[in-house]
Amino acid sequence: MKFYRIRHKVTGLFSRGTSSPKWSKNGKTWSSLKNLNQHLAMLEDAKQRFERGRGQWYRNHDAVWKNPYVDAEIVEYELTESDIREIKL
């Protein structure tokens, strides 16, 4: 079984996901690369909506969309069965 996380190369922290990702020691785990790519697509969509909406409010507030995944990488983990133990009650 494989799972995925996004790691910040400089700090070693992991993304917590969401539309405005924060970084933490454990972060979010995606069960498939497809799900992780959907997260990245959501952020790309948010970026495009931000840029299309750069109307009067954005000009007045000097707002800039910031890529939360600068200096980040996708880490793939593989979970393997290492031991089986009997349950004794």
Q: What is the pLDDT of residues 43-89, one digit of tens each?
A: 888 777 777 776 554 555 555 667 889 899 999 999 998 999 999 99
Residue 69, both tokens:
């995944």
**Which pLDDT value is given to residue 41?**
93
**Which pLDDT value is given to residue 17?**
92
Q: Tokens 């948010």 — which residue?
A: 46
CB contact set of 19 (below 8 Å; sequence gap of 6+): 42, 43, 46
Strand partners, 5: 75
Q: Tokens 């494989």 — which residue?
A: 2
Cα–Cα distance measured from residue 34 to residue 50, given in angstroms and rounded to the nearest whole number = 24
Residue 80, both tokens:
């393997």
DSSP letter at 18? S
Write out pLDDT tens, residues 1-56: 999 999 999 999 999 998 788 999 999 999 999 999 999 998 888 777 777 776 55
